[in-house]
Amino acid sequence: MVTTASPTLQASSGGRGRPGETWVFVTAGSLLTLIALLVGVILLLTLNGLSVFWPHPIARVTQNDGSVLIGQAWRGEAISQDSSDTDAVRMRTLYRIGNRRELGSEFQWVDDDAVKSIEHPPEIVFIERLEWGPALGTIRGVKRAGVPLADLAPDDFDAFDDLVDEARAERIGALAPRVDEAKLITTLELADGRTVDIPLAAIERIVPANAYGPVDRVLSWCASFGRFISENPRESNTEGGILPAILGTFLMVLLMSLAVVPLGVIGALYLNEYAKQGPLVRFVRLAVSNLAGVPSIVFGMFGLAFFVYTIGAHVDATLFSDKLPTPTFGTGGLLWASLTLALLTVPVVIVSTEEGLRAVPRAQREGSLALGSTRWQTIRTIVLPAAMPGILTGTILAIARGAGEVAPLMLTGVVKLAASPLIDATPPFLHLDAKFMHLGFHIYDVGFQSPNVEASRPIVYATALVLLVFIVILNLAAIVWRNRVRRKLQGSTF
Protein backbone atom coordinates (compact mmCIF):
# COMPACT_ATOMS: atom_id res chain seq x y z
CA MET A 1 0.00 0.00 0.00
CA VAL A 2 1.96 2.99 -1.22
CA THR A 3 -0.92 5.25 -2.14
CA THR A 4 -0.77 7.47 0.93
CA ALA A 5 1.72 10.21 0.01
CA SER A 6 1.90 9.79 -3.72
CA PRO A 7 2.75 13.07 -5.48
CA THR A 8 0.13 14.44 -7.83
CA LEU A 9 0.91 15.36 -11.38
CA GLN A 10 -0.70 18.79 -10.99
CA ALA A 11 1.17 21.95 -10.06
CA SER A 12 1.68 21.88 -6.33
CA SER A 13 1.08 25.44 -5.17
CA GLY A 14 -1.37 28.12 -6.13
CA GLY A 15 -1.45 27.88 -9.95
CA ARG A 16 1.58 30.11 -10.49
CA GLY A 17 2.64 27.93 -13.35
CA ARG A 18 5.94 26.16 -13.59
CA PRO A 19 9.04 28.13 -12.65
CA GLY A 20 10.57 29.88 -15.62
CA GLU A 21 7.37 29.89 -17.62
CA THR A 22 7.42 33.69 -17.92
CA TRP A 23 10.70 33.44 -19.76
CA VAL A 24 8.84 32.00 -22.69
CA PHE A 25 7.07 35.31 -23.07
CA VAL A 26 10.18 37.37 -22.51
CA THR A 27 12.10 35.48 -25.17
CA ALA A 28 9.19 35.46 -27.58
CA GLY A 29 8.72 39.18 -26.98
CA SER A 30 12.35 39.96 -27.69
CA LEU A 31 12.24 37.97 -30.84
CA LEU A 32 9.07 39.74 -31.96
CA THR A 33 10.66 43.13 -31.31
CA LEU A 34 13.67 42.14 -33.36
CA ILE A 35 11.56 40.91 -36.22
CA ALA A 36 9.45 44.07 -36.11
CA LEU A 37 12.59 46.23 -36.25
CA LEU A 38 13.98 44.27 -39.16
CA VAL A 39 10.74 44.39 -41.07
CA GLY A 40 10.57 48.13 -40.33
CA VAL A 41 14.03 48.74 -41.75
CA ILE A 42 13.32 46.71 -44.85
CA LEU A 43 9.93 48.36 -45.40
CA LEU A 44 11.37 51.84 -44.92
CA LEU A 45 14.16 51.19 -47.38
CA THR A 46 11.91 49.49 -49.89
CA LEU A 47 9.14 52.08 -49.85
CA ASN A 48 11.46 55.05 -49.91
CA GLY A 49 13.86 53.47 -52.32
CA LEU A 50 11.20 52.40 -54.77
CA SER A 51 9.10 55.58 -54.64
CA VAL A 52 12.08 57.59 -55.88
CA PHE A 53 11.41 56.47 -59.39
CA TRP A 54 7.69 57.00 -59.33
CA PRO A 55 6.49 59.85 -61.57
CA HIS A 56 4.91 61.98 -58.86
CA PRO A 57 2.19 64.38 -60.03
CA ILE A 58 3.29 67.93 -60.76
CA ALA A 59 1.21 70.58 -59.04
CA ARG A 60 0.55 74.14 -60.04
CA VAL A 61 -0.02 75.88 -56.72
CA THR A 62 -1.66 79.29 -56.57
CA GLN A 63 -1.21 81.05 -53.27
CA ASN A 64 -3.43 83.64 -51.65
CA ASP A 65 -1.05 86.43 -52.57
CA GLY A 66 -1.44 85.52 -56.23
CA SER A 67 1.97 83.98 -56.69
CA VAL A 68 2.13 80.68 -58.61
CA LEU A 69 4.60 77.85 -58.39
CA ILE A 70 5.02 74.55 -60.18
CA GLY A 71 6.48 71.65 -58.26
CA GLN A 72 6.19 68.16 -56.87
CA ALA A 73 5.08 67.81 -53.28
CA TRP A 74 8.20 66.52 -51.55
CA ARG A 75 7.29 66.23 -47.90
CA GLY A 76 5.19 67.96 -45.27
CA GLU A 77 5.76 68.99 -41.70
CA ALA A 78 3.99 70.75 -38.85
CA ILE A 79 4.93 74.34 -38.25
CA SER A 80 6.01 75.04 -34.70
CA GLN A 81 3.65 77.63 -33.28
CA ASP A 82 2.69 79.55 -30.14
CA SER A 83 0.59 77.79 -27.60
CA SER A 84 -2.53 79.94 -28.34
CA ASP A 85 -4.59 77.39 -30.24
CA THR A 86 -3.15 73.97 -29.79
CA ASP A 87 -5.84 72.05 -31.64
CA ALA A 88 -5.34 73.16 -35.19
CA VAL A 89 -1.89 72.11 -36.28
CA ARG A 90 -0.67 74.19 -39.17
CA MET A 91 1.15 72.33 -41.82
CA ARG A 92 3.49 73.34 -44.55
CA THR A 93 4.65 71.44 -47.60
CA LEU A 94 7.98 71.41 -49.31
CA TYR A 95 7.74 71.54 -53.08
CA ARG A 96 10.48 70.56 -55.44
CA ILE A 97 10.21 73.44 -57.87
CA GLY A 98 13.36 72.62 -59.80
CA ASN A 99 14.75 75.28 -62.15
CA ARG A 100 17.69 75.85 -59.87
CA ARG A 101 19.43 78.04 -62.33
CA GLU A 102 16.48 80.35 -62.89
CA LEU A 103 14.92 80.39 -59.42
CA GLY A 104 18.05 80.06 -57.31
CA SER A 105 16.77 77.24 -55.15
CA GLU A 106 15.33 73.87 -56.02
CA PHE A 107 12.91 73.63 -53.08
CA GLN A 108 10.31 75.92 -51.62
CA TRP A 109 8.15 75.70 -48.52
CA VAL A 110 4.50 76.61 -48.85
CA ASP A 111 2.15 77.13 -45.90
CA ASP A 112 -0.90 74.99 -46.45
CA ASP A 113 -3.06 77.87 -45.19
CA ALA A 114 -1.69 80.19 -47.83
CA VAL A 115 -2.72 77.96 -50.70
CA LYS A 116 -5.63 79.12 -52.79
CA SER A 117 -5.76 76.30 -55.29
CA ILE A 118 -3.82 73.31 -56.53
CA GLU A 119 -4.23 71.96 -60.06
CA HIS A 120 -2.49 69.28 -62.04
CA PRO A 121 -2.67 70.42 -65.64
CA PRO A 122 -1.56 67.64 -67.99
CA GLU A 123 0.74 69.80 -70.10
CA ILE A 124 3.28 70.68 -67.40
CA VAL A 125 6.33 68.50 -67.46
CA PHE A 126 9.27 67.51 -65.36
CA ILE A 127 12.47 67.68 -67.38
CA GLU A 128 15.57 65.80 -66.31
CA ARG A 129 18.62 67.74 -67.45
CA LEU A 130 22.31 67.06 -67.59
CA GLU A 131 23.02 70.15 -65.53
CA TRP A 132 21.29 72.35 -62.97
CA GLY A 133 18.86 69.76 -61.76
CA PRO A 134 15.36 69.28 -63.13
CA ALA A 135 13.32 71.92 -64.93
CA LEU A 136 9.54 72.17 -64.44
CA GLY A 137 7.12 74.06 -66.63
CA THR A 138 5.18 74.01 -69.86
CA ILE A 139 6.86 73.41 -73.18
CA ARG A 140 6.20 76.30 -75.51
CA GLY A 141 7.66 75.05 -78.74
CA VAL A 142 10.88 73.78 -80.21
CA LYS A 143 13.21 75.62 -82.57
CA ARG A 144 15.39 73.88 -85.09
CA ALA A 145 18.31 76.15 -86.07
CA GLY A 146 16.27 79.15 -84.98
CA VAL A 147 13.13 78.17 -86.89
CA PRO A 148 10.14 77.14 -84.74
CA LEU A 149 8.64 73.79 -85.57
CA ALA A 150 5.11 74.75 -86.50
CA ASP A 151 3.14 71.55 -86.16
CA LEU A 152 3.97 70.69 -82.54
CA ALA A 153 1.25 70.68 -79.89
CA PRO A 154 2.40 71.37 -76.29
CA ASP A 155 1.21 67.90 -75.25
CA ASP A 156 2.64 65.91 -78.15
CA PHE A 157 5.09 64.13 -75.85
CA ASP A 158 5.97 61.36 -78.28
CA ALA A 159 7.25 63.97 -80.68
CA PHE A 160 9.27 65.59 -77.90
CA ASP A 161 10.83 62.26 -77.03
CA ASP A 162 11.87 61.74 -80.64
CA LEU A 163 13.41 65.20 -80.74
CA VAL A 164 15.29 64.52 -77.49
CA ASP A 165 16.69 61.36 -78.99
CA GLU A 166 17.66 63.21 -82.12
CA ALA A 167 19.38 65.97 -80.14
CA ARG A 168 21.49 63.49 -78.27
CA ALA A 169 23.79 63.42 -81.29
CA GLU A 170 24.73 67.00 -80.56
CA ARG A 171 26.40 66.14 -77.30
CA ILE A 172 30.15 66.33 -77.01
CA GLY A 173 30.95 63.32 -74.90
CA ALA A 174 28.62 63.68 -71.93
CA LEU A 175 28.37 67.45 -72.30
CA ALA A 176 25.54 69.38 -73.89
CA PRO A 177 26.23 72.29 -76.23
CA ARG A 178 25.61 75.84 -75.02
CA VAL A 179 22.28 77.43 -75.84
CA ASP A 180 23.78 79.69 -78.50
CA GLU A 181 25.49 76.77 -80.21
CA ALA A 182 22.72 74.18 -80.05
CA LYS A 183 20.65 73.33 -83.09
CA LEU A 184 17.56 72.06 -81.30
CA ILE A 185 16.27 74.32 -78.57
CA THR A 186 13.08 74.15 -76.58
CA THR A 187 11.36 77.00 -74.83
CA LEU A 188 9.96 76.31 -71.39
CA GLU A 189 7.44 78.51 -69.64
CA LEU A 190 7.98 78.65 -65.90
CA ALA A 191 5.33 79.13 -63.28
CA ASP A 192 5.79 82.90 -63.15
CA GLY A 193 5.37 83.26 -66.90
CA ARG A 194 9.05 83.66 -67.67
CA THR A 195 10.43 81.55 -70.50
CA VAL A 196 13.83 79.86 -70.69
CA ASP A 197 15.59 78.29 -73.63
CA ILE A 198 17.06 74.84 -73.05
CA PRO A 199 19.12 72.95 -75.62
CA LEU A 200 17.33 69.67 -76.28
CA ALA A 201 20.69 67.95 -76.11
CA ALA A 202 20.91 68.88 -72.44
CA ILE A 203 17.71 67.00 -71.71
CA GLU A 204 17.85 63.45 -70.47
CA ARG A 205 14.16 62.80 -70.30
CA ILE A 206 10.83 64.59 -70.36
CA VAL A 207 8.34 63.27 -67.80
CA PRO A 208 4.79 64.55 -68.32
CA ALA A 209 3.71 62.96 -65.05
CA ASN A 210 0.21 64.44 -65.03
CA ALA A 211 -0.59 63.15 -68.49
CA TYR A 212 0.39 59.60 -67.56
CA GLY A 213 -2.13 56.84 -67.14
CA PRO A 214 -1.38 53.99 -64.71
CA VAL A 215 0.47 51.93 -67.32
CA ASP A 216 2.58 54.91 -68.35
CA ARG A 217 3.46 55.50 -64.73
CA VAL A 218 4.67 51.95 -64.25
CA LEU A 219 6.65 52.10 -67.50
CA SER A 220 8.16 55.38 -66.44
CA TRP A 221 9.05 53.88 -63.07
CA CYS A 222 10.79 50.98 -64.78
CA ALA A 223 12.65 53.29 -67.12
CA SER A 224 13.85 55.46 -64.24
CA PHE A 225 14.93 52.49 -62.20
CA GLY A 226 16.67 50.92 -65.17
CA ARG A 227 18.62 54.08 -65.75
CA PHE A 228 19.45 54.38 -62.09
CA ILE A 229 21.25 51.05 -62.11
CA SER A 230 22.74 51.36 -65.57
CA GLU A 231 24.09 54.90 -65.77
CA ASN A 232 26.96 56.88 -64.40
CA PRO A 233 26.29 59.45 -61.71
CA ARG A 234 25.99 63.12 -62.57
CA GLU A 235 26.04 66.41 -60.72
CA SER A 236 28.40 65.25 -57.96
CA ASN A 237 26.45 62.04 -57.47
CA THR A 238 23.13 63.73 -56.70
CA GLU A 239 21.69 62.62 -60.01
CA GLY A 240 22.11 59.95 -62.60
CA GLY A 241 22.78 56.32 -61.80
CA ILE A 242 25.01 54.22 -59.63
CA LEU A 243 26.39 51.72 -62.13
CA PRO A 244 30.06 52.29 -61.24
CA ALA A 245 29.27 51.77 -57.57
CA ILE A 246 27.45 48.51 -58.31
CA LEU A 247 30.28 47.32 -60.52
CA GLY A 248 32.90 48.40 -58.00
CA THR A 249 31.15 46.59 -55.17
CA PHE A 250 30.67 43.50 -57.27
CA LEU A 251 34.26 43.32 -58.49
CA MET A 252 35.58 44.06 -55.03
CA VAL A 253 33.49 41.26 -53.50
CA LEU A 254 34.48 38.91 -56.30
CA LEU A 255 38.20 39.57 -55.89
CA MET A 256 37.84 39.35 -52.14
CA SER A 257 36.16 35.95 -52.42
CA LEU A 258 38.80 34.74 -54.86
CA ALA A 259 41.42 35.66 -52.30
CA VAL A 260 39.71 34.74 -49.07
CA VAL A 261 38.32 31.31 -49.93
CA PRO A 262 41.61 29.64 -50.89
CA LEU A 263 43.42 31.44 -48.09
CA GLY A 264 40.90 30.43 -45.46
CA VAL A 265 40.47 26.88 -46.71
CA ILE A 266 44.20 26.25 -46.86
CA GLY A 267 44.63 27.73 -43.41
CA ALA A 268 41.85 25.59 -42.01
CA LEU A 269 43.23 22.51 -43.75
CA TYR A 270 46.59 22.97 -42.14
CA LEU A 271 45.11 23.67 -38.72
CA ASN A 272 42.75 20.73 -38.84
CA GLU A 273 44.49 18.10 -40.96
CA TYR A 274 48.22 18.56 -40.75
CA ALA A 275 49.15 20.47 -37.62
CA LYS A 276 49.78 18.39 -34.54
CA GLN A 277 47.01 19.31 -32.14
CA GLY A 278 48.44 20.99 -29.09
CA PRO A 279 48.74 24.27 -27.23
CA LEU A 280 50.23 26.09 -30.22
CA VAL A 281 47.38 25.12 -32.53
CA ARG A 282 44.87 26.04 -29.86
CA PHE A 283 46.52 29.43 -29.51
CA VAL A 284 46.46 30.01 -33.26
CA ARG A 285 42.77 29.10 -33.33
CA LEU A 286 42.04 31.54 -30.55
CA ALA A 287 44.01 34.25 -32.32
CA VAL A 288 42.13 33.62 -35.54
CA SER A 289 38.73 33.89 -33.95
CA ASN A 290 39.79 37.04 -32.12
CA LEU A 291 40.93 38.53 -35.38
CA ALA A 292 37.28 38.63 -36.37
CA GLY A 293 36.65 41.07 -33.55
CA VAL A 294 39.27 43.62 -34.57
CA PRO A 295 37.58 46.88 -35.69
CA SER A 296 37.50 47.08 -39.43
CA ILE A 297 39.15 50.49 -39.58
CA VAL A 298 42.22 48.87 -38.05
CA PHE A 299 42.29 46.47 -40.97
CA GLY A 300 42.02 49.51 -43.21
CA MET A 301 45.08 51.02 -41.57
CA PHE A 302 46.94 47.77 -41.92
CA GLY A 303 45.96 47.53 -45.57
CA LEU A 304 47.15 51.06 -46.16
CA ALA A 305 50.45 50.53 -44.39
CA PHE A 306 51.18 47.04 -45.65
CA PHE A 307 49.58 46.65 -49.05
CA VAL A 308 49.64 50.23 -50.32
CA TYR A 309 52.75 51.72 -48.79
CA THR A 310 54.94 48.63 -48.55
CA ILE A 311 53.99 46.11 -51.22
CA GLY A 312 52.51 48.69 -53.58
CA ALA A 313 55.60 50.87 -53.36
CA HIS A 314 57.82 47.90 -54.10
CA VAL A 315 55.69 46.83 -57.04
CA ASP A 316 55.92 50.35 -58.41
CA ALA A 317 59.66 50.50 -57.92
CA THR A 318 60.25 47.25 -59.76
CA LEU A 319 57.51 47.08 -62.40
CA PHE A 320 56.27 50.61 -62.97
CA SER A 321 59.39 52.66 -62.32
CA ASP A 322 58.92 54.53 -65.60
CA LYS A 323 55.72 56.06 -64.29
CA LEU A 324 57.11 57.24 -60.96
CA PRO A 325 56.60 59.53 -59.13
CA THR A 326 52.99 58.92 -60.18
CA PRO A 327 52.08 55.81 -58.22
CA THR A 328 50.40 52.86 -59.91
CA PHE A 329 50.00 50.31 -57.17
CA GLY A 330 51.55 52.58 -54.55
CA THR A 331 48.18 54.13 -53.93
CA GLY A 332 44.83 52.74 -52.91
CA GLY A 333 43.05 50.65 -55.51
CA LEU A 334 40.71 47.78 -56.21
CA LEU A 335 43.28 45.06 -55.55
CA TRP A 336 44.49 46.39 -52.22
CA ALA A 337 40.98 47.06 -51.00
CA SER A 338 39.93 43.51 -51.92
CA LEU A 339 42.94 41.99 -50.20
CA THR A 340 42.33 44.09 -47.11
CA LEU A 341 38.76 42.86 -46.96
CA ALA A 342 40.00 39.31 -47.56
CA LEU A 343 42.14 39.63 -44.45
CA LEU A 344 39.20 41.03 -42.57
CA THR A 345 36.96 38.13 -43.49
CA VAL A 346 39.44 35.25 -43.44
CA PRO A 347 38.66 34.28 -39.83
CA VAL A 348 35.05 33.53 -40.73
CA VAL A 349 36.12 31.27 -43.55
CA ILE A 350 38.68 29.47 -41.40
CA VAL A 351 36.25 28.90 -38.56
CA SER A 352 33.44 27.52 -40.67
CA THR A 353 35.76 25.48 -42.87
CA GLU A 354 37.21 23.90 -39.76
CA GLU A 355 33.73 23.10 -38.61
CA GLY A 356 33.04 21.50 -41.97
CA LEU A 357 36.28 19.50 -41.78
CA ARG A 358 35.54 18.27 -38.29
CA ALA A 359 32.15 17.04 -39.48
CA VAL A 360 33.73 14.67 -41.99
CA PRO A 361 33.48 11.21 -40.41
CA ARG A 362 36.77 9.73 -39.34
CA ALA A 363 35.64 6.42 -40.82
CA GLN A 364 35.60 7.91 -44.30
CA ARG A 365 39.11 9.26 -44.02
CA GLU A 366 40.27 5.86 -42.75
CA GLY A 367 38.42 4.11 -45.55
CA SER A 368 40.26 6.18 -48.08
CA LEU A 369 43.65 5.86 -46.43
CA ALA A 370 43.23 2.11 -46.06
CA LEU A 371 42.90 1.86 -49.83
CA GLY A 372 46.39 3.28 -50.14
CA SER A 373 45.65 6.92 -50.83
CA THR A 374 47.97 9.59 -49.56
CA ARG A 375 46.88 12.15 -47.04
CA TRP A 376 46.51 14.75 -49.78
CA GLN A 377 44.51 12.41 -52.03
CA THR A 378 42.19 11.73 -49.13
CA ILE A 379 41.78 15.43 -48.45
CA ARG A 380 41.14 16.21 -52.09
CA THR A 381 38.75 13.41 -52.94
CA ILE A 382 36.98 12.71 -49.65
CA VAL A 383 37.48 15.43 -47.07
CA LEU A 384 37.15 18.61 -49.11
CA PRO A 385 34.00 17.55 -50.99
CA ALA A 386 32.39 16.52 -47.74
CA ALA A 387 33.44 19.78 -46.10
CA MET A 388 32.05 21.83 -48.97
CA PRO A 389 28.92 22.98 -47.13
CA GLY A 390 31.10 24.37 -44.36
CA ILE A 391 33.37 26.10 -46.84
CA LEU A 392 30.39 27.61 -48.61
CA THR A 393 28.89 28.76 -45.33
CA GLY A 394 32.17 30.52 -44.64
CA THR A 395 32.08 32.10 -48.07
CA ILE A 396 28.53 33.30 -47.53
CA LEU A 397 29.43 34.87 -44.22
CA ALA A 398 32.55 36.44 -45.68
CA ILE A 399 30.62 37.94 -48.57
CA ALA A 400 27.89 39.22 -46.31
CA ARG A 401 30.45 40.89 -44.09
CA GLY A 402 32.72 42.09 -46.87
CA ALA A 403 30.07 43.56 -49.12
CA GLY A 404 28.78 45.87 -46.42
CA GLU A 405 32.11 47.00 -45.04
CA VAL A 406 33.03 50.62 -45.81
CA ALA A 407 35.55 51.93 -43.30
CA PRO A 408 38.62 49.97 -44.44
CA LEU A 409 37.86 50.82 -48.04
CA MET A 410 38.07 54.54 -47.36
CA LEU A 411 41.75 54.06 -46.58
CA THR A 412 42.53 51.62 -49.35
CA GLY A 413 41.05 52.90 -52.56
CA VAL A 414 37.40 53.85 -52.60
CA VAL A 415 36.52 57.24 -54.09
CA LYS A 416 33.35 59.27 -54.48
CA LEU A 417 33.78 59.48 -58.23
CA ALA A 418 36.00 57.10 -60.13
CA ALA A 419 38.07 58.78 -62.79
CA SER A 420 38.25 55.71 -65.01
CA PRO A 421 36.13 52.56 -65.30
CA LEU A 422 37.35 49.35 -63.70
CA ILE A 423 36.72 47.36 -66.84
CA ASP A 424 37.32 48.73 -70.31
CA ALA A 425 38.78 47.85 -73.66
CA THR A 426 42.37 48.75 -72.92
CA PRO A 427 44.61 45.96 -71.65
CA PRO A 428 44.69 44.56 -69.03
CA PHE A 429 40.90 45.15 -69.27
CA LEU A 430 40.40 44.74 -65.53
CA HIS A 431 42.28 47.56 -63.81
CA LEU A 432 43.32 46.25 -60.45
CA ASP A 433 45.16 49.46 -59.61
CA ALA A 434 42.21 51.73 -60.32
CA LYS A 435 40.30 53.56 -57.65
CA PHE A 436 36.72 52.44 -57.49
CA MET A 437 33.27 53.35 -56.25
CA HIS A 438 31.31 51.34 -53.73
CA LEU A 439 27.64 51.27 -52.81
CA GLY A 440 28.27 51.60 -49.10
CA PHE A 441 30.59 54.54 -49.54
CA HIS A 442 28.19 56.04 -52.05
CA ILE A 443 25.47 56.10 -49.41
CA TYR A 444 27.77 57.94 -47.04
CA ASP A 445 28.98 60.32 -49.71
CA VAL A 446 25.61 61.20 -51.20
CA GLY A 447 23.84 61.28 -47.90
CA PHE A 448 26.28 63.35 -45.92
CA GLN A 449 28.79 64.99 -48.21
CA SER A 450 26.43 66.12 -50.91
CA PRO A 451 25.98 69.79 -51.82
CA ASN A 452 22.28 69.20 -52.31
CA VAL A 453 21.16 67.08 -49.39
CA GLU A 454 17.43 67.46 -49.95
CA ALA A 455 17.57 66.41 -53.59
CA SER A 456 19.89 63.48 -53.01
CA ARG A 457 18.00 61.98 -50.10
CA PRO A 458 15.98 59.63 -52.36
CA ILE A 459 19.19 58.46 -53.99
CA VAL A 460 20.48 57.48 -50.57
CA TYR A 461 17.44 55.33 -49.99
CA ALA A 462 17.57 53.86 -53.46
CA THR A 463 21.28 53.09 -53.15
CA ALA A 464 20.76 51.51 -49.75
CA LEU A 465 18.02 49.37 -51.22
CA VAL A 466 20.26 48.32 -54.09
CA LEU A 467 23.05 47.45 -51.67
CA LEU A 468 20.66 45.39 -49.61
CA VAL A 469 19.27 43.58 -52.63
CA PHE A 470 22.80 43.06 -53.92
CA ILE A 471 23.89 41.37 -50.70
CA VAL A 472 20.71 39.32 -50.56
CA ILE A 473 21.24 38.11 -54.12
CA LEU A 474 24.86 37.18 -53.46
CA ASN A 475 23.87 35.28 -50.35
CA LEU A 476 20.93 33.56 -51.98
CA ALA A 477 23.13 32.39 -54.81
CA ALA A 478 25.66 30.98 -52.38
CA ILE A 479 22.96 29.36 -50.26
CA VAL A 480 21.32 27.72 -53.26
CA TRP A 481 24.71 26.41 -54.30
CA ARG A 482 25.42 25.08 -50.82
CA ASN A 483 22.09 23.29 -50.66
CA ARG A 484 22.78 21.65 -53.97
CA VAL A 485 26.15 20.44 -52.75
CA ARG A 486 24.56 19.19 -49.55
CA ARG A 487 21.89 17.28 -51.40
CA LYS A 488 24.52 15.66 -53.55
CA LEU A 489 26.49 14.61 -50.49
CA GLN A 490 23.56 13.08 -48.71
CA GLY A 491 22.42 11.09 -51.67
CA SER A 492 19.04 9.49 -51.33
CA THR A 493 17.67 8.25 -48.06
CA PHE A 494 18.49 4.99 -46.38
Residues of this chain that bind another protein (CB under 8 A): 276-277, 361, 363-374, 377, 381-382, 385-386, 489-494
In sequence order, the β-bridge partners of residue 124 are 138
CB 447 → another protein: shortest distance, Å?
A: 49
Convert 189-221 to b/e letters by CB count within 10 Å (16 or more is b). bbbeeeeeebbbbbbbbbbbbbbbeeeebeebb
Closer residue to another protein in complex, CB, 2/371: 371
CB of 351 to another protein, least distance (A): 23
- From the CB of 373, what's the least distance to another protein, in Å? 4
Report the residue number, 194 or 488, with the smaller CB distance to another protein. Answer: 488
Q: What sign does the CA torsion over 266, 272, 277, 280 have?
A: positive
Report the residue number, 256 or 360, with the smaller CB distance to another protein: 360
Minimum CB distance to another protein smaller for 146 or for 491: 491
CA angle 18, 19, 20 (to 5 degrees): 110
Tell the smallest beta-carbon distance from residue 261 to another protein (Å): 22
Q: Give the span between the Cα atoms of 455 and 238, in whole angstroms.
A: 7
Pick 186 or 378: Cβ nearer another protein: 378
Residue 56 half-sphere exposure toward CB, CA atoms < 13 A:
16
Nearest approach in angstroms of CB 386 to another protein is: 6
| DSSP code of residue 13 | S
Q: How far is the CB of 381 from another protein (least distance, A)?
A: 7
For another protein, which is the closer residue by CB, 260 or 383? 383
CB nearer to another protein: pick between 146 and 279: 279
1 or 371: CB nearest another protein: 371
Q: Smallest distance from the beta carbon of 479 to another protein, in angstroms?
A: 20
Nearer to another protein by Cβ, of 206 and 379: the residue is 379
Alpha-carbon distance 54 to 223, whole Å? 10
User: Given its phi and psi angles, is residue 148 left (phi above 0), alpha (psi -120 to 50 degrees) or beta?
Assistant: beta
2-10 long-range CB contacts below 8 Å, 24 or more apart?
Answer: none
CA distances in angstroms from 103 to 16, 137, 191, 313, listed in the order given: 71, 12, 10, 51
Give long-range contacts, CB 8 A cutoff, 24+ apart: 210-214.
210/57, 210/58, 210/120, 210/121, 210/122, 210/123, 210/124, 211/122, 211/123, 211/155, 211/157, 212/55
Length of the chain: 494
Q: Burial code of 50-61, b = ≥16 C-beta within 10 A, e = fewer?
A: eebbebbebbbb
Cα separation, 253 vs 256, in Å, equals: 5
Q: Among residues 138, 86, 77, which one has the least CA distance to residue 110? A: 77
Distance, CA of 120 to chain centre: 34
Q: How far apart are the first and last CA of the chain?
A: 50
Residue 14 CA: distances (Å) to CA of 20, 24, 193: 15, 20, 82
- Residue 427 or 491: the one with the smaller Cβ distance to another protein is 491
Q: Which is nearer to another protein, 280 or 298 (CB)?
A: 280
Give CA angle at 436 (433, 437), nearest 5°.
Answer: 175
For the CB of residue 438, give the shortest distance to another protein in the complex, in Å: 40
Smallest gap from Cβ 267 to another protein, in A, equals 21
Determine what percent of the chain falls in helix, strand and coil, rounding each to the nearest 5: 55, 15, 30
Smallest separation, CB 488 to another protein (Å): 8
Instruction: Compute the distance between CA of residue 223 and CA of residue 230 in angstroms, rounded to an integer.
Output: 10
Smallest separation (angstroms) from another protein to the CB of 237: 51
Q: How many CA atoms lie within 13 A of 360 on its CB side?
A: 28
Nearer to another protein, 370 or 419 (CB): 370
Min separation Cβ 350 and another protein, Å? 22
